[in-house]
Amino acid sequence: MLRTTLAGLKLHKSRYVTTVLAILLGVMFVSGTMVFADTLNASYEESVMGSATSVDAIAVPSQPEPGSEGAPEEPIPFTGEQLDEVRALPEVSEAGGLLRSEAVLLDADGRAVGFTPPAAVGLEGVSRFSADEGSLPSNGDEIALATSTADQTGFAVGDTVTVLDAEEEKRDFTVTGLVEFGVDPSYSLGGAVVFDPDTVREMTGVTGYSEIDARAAEGRTPQEAADAVTAALGSGAEVRTGEEYGLAMAENVGGQTEMMRVALLLFAFIAMFVAGIVIYNTFAILIAQRQRELALLRCMGAKRGQVFRSVLAESVVVGLVASALGVLAGVGIGMAGATFGGPLLGTGDAVPVVVTPLAVVVGLAVGTVVTVFSALIPATRATRVAPLAALRTSATAAGLEKGTGWIRVVFGLLTFAVSAGLVAVTQMADLAQVGLVVVTAAALITFVGVVVLGPLLVRGIVRLVGVPLRKVGVPSMLAVDNSTRSPRRAATAMIALTVGATLITGYSVISASTEATMTTMLEEQFPVDYQISPQFSMEEPESEEAGEPQEASAEGSEGAGSTEGAEGAESPADGAEGSAEAGAAEGTGEAGAAEGTGEAGAAEGTGGEPADQEGGAGEAPETPVMPTVPAEVVAALESQPELGQVFGRRSATVETDDDRMAFVYTYPGAEIGADLTSDVVEGDLADMGPGRAVVAEGHLDGVGIGDTATLPSENGEDLSLEVVAVVEEMQMLSGVTVAEEDFAKAFPQVDGNEMLFVRAAEGADPAEVRDAVYTAVEDHPTMQVGSAAEMKNQFSQILDIAFYTIAAMLGLAIIIAVFGISNTMALSVLERTRESALLRALGLARGQLRRMLSVEAVLLCLIGAGIGIVLGVVFGWAAGASVLPNMIFAVPVGQIAMFIAVAVLAGLLASVLPGRRAAGTSITGALASE
């Protein structure tokens, strides 16, 4: 039986070509993902370990325990005396300190780089960082840039850059080198500039060291050096060896790599699932076609078990060969991903591709197991072939033409009902992120229903679309009859394409709906043309307030929040665009307000110093001073004839009687209800005025229309306001909005605008408006300027990139599905050899025969794609609505039309080779064969 099996494989190897390609593609994705992730992780580890292990001991200030009020306290930097003490240790040969603060770097246009200033670093003595290109600065006229900052700004070694000092005076420096900070998020996200130690002290006023690096003395181990540094610095330091420090950081970035690995393997799973459908369909048709051959084996004494093992042996051989080819292709894909995708993910220089035994074994195992598993049912069916079937003269694949019984119909309809019920649950109950899981489960159940009812769906759809096709010509009429003659075969062929079409359509619906929702929200929340705010500083305010949220430690805050400015976006709203589901820009919701008031900085230094008050019982915590927009900028904007209206925003944070934080806003120069609006739950925004307030829904518990909202204030007197309107959350008016007079009385220290909103004059040219805005802020480079149009464009670009990336990955499933249809067509042509010859003998031309097969393949592709598009629209809507309750449903008609065109093209391509083979068959030879 083994020799017979291998001989059959050798004889009919062409039948397995597309099956091998389907397995190859799926395994390629699995192995490629693992190779890429392993290589990326090795690159990260090399980057981290390369810097950390260049020293033997690394000390950072310990994070203090939270204070009595629960507010985190800042770590205490190391002093010069502590550094000298470490240098004097016998276990240490040399040591150095890292000075760290912030400095405002200007780009080529003279604007501040990033939403937050990059880190300003001074390296005094030995350090784990070194110049990746050029050299470190040695005097007060030189500077080095982080490689990420250089990439963002376009500066290179030899260029002259401008940095603002503590007094916001411009100073020019020559770039002498680029420093690779690796994947340390404290530096890689927000960027960094490096001065010599004296210059960083002069530029920023920093005095303490945020890190001490040491090398072990000769004959001493790194652990002995670390222990000695721990004893010298005491409990105020966390000390680890360079290797321990590097491993800890590599573990953190390794977690990111694992998330990427899981995400990519999810797409690989989809590809293998579709490949499994193709494999099952191929073996099912082959077994049905070979019933005479199998019956002859039974007549010659082969037992059922031998037949079963013979088919499984075929699947093992096909699976192993295809998987081995897939692993080789996966290594190539992984190498390409590491070469081209690695630098985009911050891996720095290329590292050797890592091919682990696990990646090879998993690829081989997955491909082989999926192939064998997919062949189980066809192999079982092969054992049921009666020996008398050898007496039949037809090679028709009997067994695939069976009708759809009532049990299948009931079961299929039941799966649809269960799926519909799950979708209804996601829309009626607030399941948050769990809703996505439920929708996914509903989609999988629906796929089962499509498989079960596939023959009925194919027969019904073909009969419907076949009415006009029958009138086109004989080839189209024959194609329609062929599709309905074996609906089960057609259904199993098109289900793979249905899965891929559902996934791509569903994601396109989610993407389009999200974009439409966010665009509408931006238009509602930003009824202005430009928004101006100071660069957000992560430096600690001079006065910390009890109960005020902080970004945590010097070490933690070094990187904290820097993700908001990682992209270097102009708009200060970018940092909060992703908050909650609304994606509202910073300051438009509680999340934005928290970020707006949780840290105080002095980027502009115009807000004044907070009063030195004692917070008595019932008094609000003193509001930290936010960086504000200088008054001269306001005056310059108001003087521009191209600008119609300029108004500001001020905010404060108070603690209510029920120990909740309330965010209070006022908008000087704006009329609530006219210039600024939100969707009203109850009340009327037009009633807003002194002594009254507008409250976002749910912001103050138990407060409604006509109630009195009582808020503590800085002057020790409660602020009592009548609530005249309740608005929806996460819109332009959030928190508690009060009149300017009430705000000034309650919070006299907040006397500047943290943000300005600018509206163009009616009929003004957009280019002139933009020039007017930038002219007004040209003397204040730290002012961040953003526009609603720019924000929408940035958001659209992000969504488009994500969509096309995911669509490209899911496209692999589509390609595999097309191979499956092509395989089905090829086997169908083989089965209908005599029938095709008879049609030719009756006068059907070669071109007509090819056209018949083309129409048949296009029908299969359109049916699969059509069902997938319908399911994708439904589940895309359900998934989006479960996460975004106020989602604006949008169907990307253009993308769907393009997908239909691709389906038609795929059908035509799938029919090319089978059509040529059918048309080239000898008429007399085919009719003479049995």
Mean pLDDT of 675-680: 84
Q: In this predicted structure, which of 253-257, 462-466, 510-514 has the lowest mean pLDDT?
A: 253-257
Where a domain ends, among 251, 274, 293?
251
Phi, psi of 650 (to 5 degrees): -130, 150
> Binning pLDDT at 50, 70 and 90, where does residue 539 land?
low
Asked if the model's pLDDT at residue 327 lies above 80, the reply is yes
Instruction: Establish if 625 belongs to a structural domain.
Output: yes
Interval 510-517 mean pLDDT? 85
In this model, does residue 206 exceed pLDDT 60?
yes
pLDDT confidence band for 92 (50 / 70 / 90) = very high
Residue 72 lies in a domain: yes
Give the residue with greater pLDDT, 581 vs 195.
195
What pLDDT does residue 315 have?
Answer: 85
**Highest mean pLDDT (candidates 183-187, 250-254, 297-301, 629-633):** 629-633
Residue 283 pLDDT level (bands cut at 50, 70, 90): confident
Over residues 351-363, the mean pLDDT reads 81
pLDDT in tens, 870-919: 999 999 898 888 877 778 888 888 888 888 888 888 888 878 877 787 77
**Shared-domain flag, residues 657 and 629:** yes
Banded pLDDT at 400 (limits 50, 70, 90): very low
**What integer pLDDT is reported at residue 199 of this predicted model?**
94
User: Residue 915: inside a domain, yes or no?
Assistant: yes
Instruction: Provide the token pair at 598.
Output: 């949780």
663 with 587, same domain? yes
Q: What is the pLDDT at residue 14?
A: 63
Whether pLDDT at 922 is above 90: no
pLDDT value at position 598?
A: 34
Q: How many residues are present in the chain?
A: 930
Domain interval for residue 635: 536-602+617-779
> What are the C-alpha distances in Å from 380 to residues 372, 398, 789?
12, 15, 62
Q: How many domains does the chain have?
A: 3
The upper half-sphere exposure of residue 418, i.e. CA atoms within 13 Å in the direction of its Cβ, equals 17
Same domain, 795 and 755: no
Q: What is the pLDDT of residue 546?
A: 34
Task: Give the range among 263-267, 523-527, 657-661 with minimum mean pLDDT.
Answer: 523-527
> DSSP letter at 574?
G
Q: Strands, DSSP E only, in 221-340?
A: 237-241
| Residue 733 and residue 838 in one domain | no
Cα–Cα dist 669/440, whole Å: 49
| Spatial CB neighbours of 540, under 8 Å, sequence gap ≥ 6 | 74, 557
Let me know if residue 213 belongs to a domain.
yes
Question: 294 vs 648, which has greater pLDDT?
Answer: 648
pLDDT at residue 356, as a whole number: 84
Q: Encode pLDDT of 57-81 as tens digits.
A: 999 998 876 544 444 567 889 999 9
pLDDT at 620: 41
Higher pLDDT, 283 or 929: 283
Instruction: Decide if 404 is inside a domain.
Output: no
CA 579/CA 563 separation, integer angstroms = 13
Neighbours of 864 (CB within 10 A): 33
Q: Please check whether residues 663 and 633 belong to one and the same domain.
A: yes
* CA dist list (Å): 171 to 105, 106, 168, 194, 748: 10, 10, 9, 14, 35
Asked if residue 550 belongs to a domain, the reply is yes
Neighbours of 205 (CB within 10 A): 11
pLDDT at residue number 695:
92
Q: How far does the chain reach from its first CA to its final CA, in angstroms?
A: 25
Structural contact between residues 721 and 711, judged by C-beta atoms closer than 8 angstroms: yes
Q: With respect to residue 394, please indicate whether it lies within any of the assigned structural domains.
A: no
Q: Does 31 reside within a domain?
A: no
Q: Could you tell me if 772 and 826 lie in one domain?
A: no
Lowest mean pLDDT among 128-132, 250-254, 301-305, 549-553: 549-553
Q: Which residue has the higher pLDDT, 494 or 572?
A: 494
226, 240 contact by CB (below 8 A) = yes
Residue 169 has pLDDT above 60, yes or no: yes
pTM over 0.75: no
| Beta partners for residue 680, in sequence order | 727
User: Under DSSP, is residue 873 helix (H, G, I), strand (E, B) or coil?
Assistant: helix
Give the tens place of pLDDT for each residue, 567-599. 333 333 333 333 333 333 333 333 333 333 333
929 or 433: which leads in pLDDT? 433
CB 813 within 8 A of CB 270: yes
Give the model confidence (pLDDT) of 807-817 as tens digits. 777 777 778 77
Are 774 and 835 within one domain?
no
Q: Which of 121-130, 240-249, 436-445 has the highest mean pLDDT?
A: 121-130
Among the candidates 779, 801, 823, a domain finishes at: 779
The confidence band for 195, taking pLDDT boundaries of 50, 70 and 90, is very high
Q: Give the per-residue pLDDT at 743.
A: 92
Q: Which is higher by pLDDT, 924 or 870?
A: 870
| 833/853: higher pLDDT | 853
pLDDT at residue 45 in the model? 62
Question: Positive or negative, the Cα torsion across 354, 355, 359, 363?
Answer: positive
Higher pLDDT, 575 or 341: 341
- Tell me which of 779, 799, 828 is where a domain ends: 779
CA distance 590 to 680: 17
The predicted model gives 202-219 an average pLDDT of 92
Same domain, 596 and 488: no
Using CA of residue 114, residue 544, residue 78, residue 61, what is the dihedral sign?
negative
- Same domain for 518 and 575, yes or no, is no
Q: Are both 675 and 800 inside the same structural domain?
A: no
Average pLDDT of span 771-790: 83
What's the pLDDT at 336? 75
Mean pLDDT of the region 332-346? 65
Residues 72 and 186 in one domain: yes
Q: For residues 633 and 719, state if they share a domain.
A: yes
**How far is residue 669's CA from residue 646's CA, in Å, rounded to a whole number?**
7
> Is the CB of residue 669 less than 8 Å from the CB of residue 645?
yes
Give Cα 147 to chain centroid, integer Å.
Answer: 24
Segment (H or E) for 329: helix 304-336
Beta-ladder partners of 98: 123, 211
- pLDDT band with cut points at 50, 70 and 90 for residue 525: low
Sign of CA dihedral 544, 549, 554, 560: negative
| Residue 660 to residue 434: CA distance in whole angstroms | 28
**Stretch 609-633: mean pLDDT, rounded?**
54
